[in-house]
Amino acid sequence: FTIERPLHNVVLGGMLWLTTYSWWGGYTVYVSFIVCSTLSSNYAIVLFTLLAFSWITYSYNTMFILGYAVCETAKRGTFKRILNGSTLLNLGAQVVLACVAFCIMWVGPIEDGLNKGFNHLAIPHARSQVDTTRLFITKIIVATLLLIWAEMSPQARWVLSARPMRWFARLSSGVCLLSIAAVYLILPRVAANAAGPTISVAMVWGAYFATLAATCLAAAVFHFAVEWPSVIMGRAAWWLVGGEDKLTFAWR
């Protein structure tokens, strides 16, 4: 959708709302963490309840809670036990995940059935006039299955744990917060020429790569100028109140 109509106002507006929803999603994950930590013995039931309540009321929070559910399950060692267990079981689980994701994504009746079914579960005010619930519930499910697959695949874990990927992960919060600034500084210049005969595919792709480079550069500055000093002050405050015996500032 973005590649087909990169300068469409709906796409640009979606980028703006993405930042707002990401902020909201951060608080959603924080609340989910507090609730699951408090009721850790029944965390599966708690997560299911949070997911059900989220989808019925504010559907766009569902993807954040699902992402947290995958992280919480990984932290408890569920995926690691499968990864370190039988090779046949691990490969079988990966094949099942891939097949389910393929069916949900590419088999029309299954995709439509899931979209319509989940759409009817949401109360009316949680659905927009254009019925956006039909557009993303299957995408959320597929993305969650891919996250689980990445946790269970040794090859995917090796790629995601590589040093460049870890460095990029440190910039993720800055990318999320500052990407909209880069988008609205660069893309309008391309949009100004979009109506004329000079627009080309190369110009559009150039705008995308320029936006990506500007976003990563701004995120790097944000990390060292804002995030890292905040981490230092937080650890120092924690040390002052006796939370740690030794004060360290290792950049991990």
pLDDT digits (tens, 9 = 90+) for 66-76: 888 888 888 88
Q: What is the largest CA-CA distance in the chain?
A: 66
Confidence label for 160 from pLDDT (cuts 50, 70 and 90): confident
Could you tell me if residue 88 is inside a domain? no
Residue 43, pLDDT score: 80
Question: Shortest CA distance to 213 belongs to which of 246, 186, 193?
Answer: 186
Could you tell me if residue 130 is inside a domain? no
Could you tell me if residue 55 is inside a domain? no
Structural domain harbouring 175: 163-240
Tokens (6 digits) for 7: 């300068």
* b/e map 178-196, b = 16+ CB within 10 Å: bbbebbeebbeebbeeeee
Could you tell me if residue 148 is inside a domain? no
Could you tell me if residue 113 is inside a domain? no
Residue 3, pLDDT score: 40
Give the total number of structural domains in the chain: 1
Could you tell me if residue 78 is inside a domain? no
Percent of the chain with pLDDT over 90: 0
Could you tell me if residue 186 is inside a domain? yes
Residue 187, pLDDT score: 66
- Look at 94 and 195; give whichever has higher pLDDT: 94
Instruction: Give this prediction's pTM.
Output: 0.64
Please give the DSSP secondary-structure letter assigned to residue 50: H
Please, are residues 32 and 50 in contact by the beta-carbon 8 Å criterion? yes
Could you tell me if residue 41 is inside a domain? no
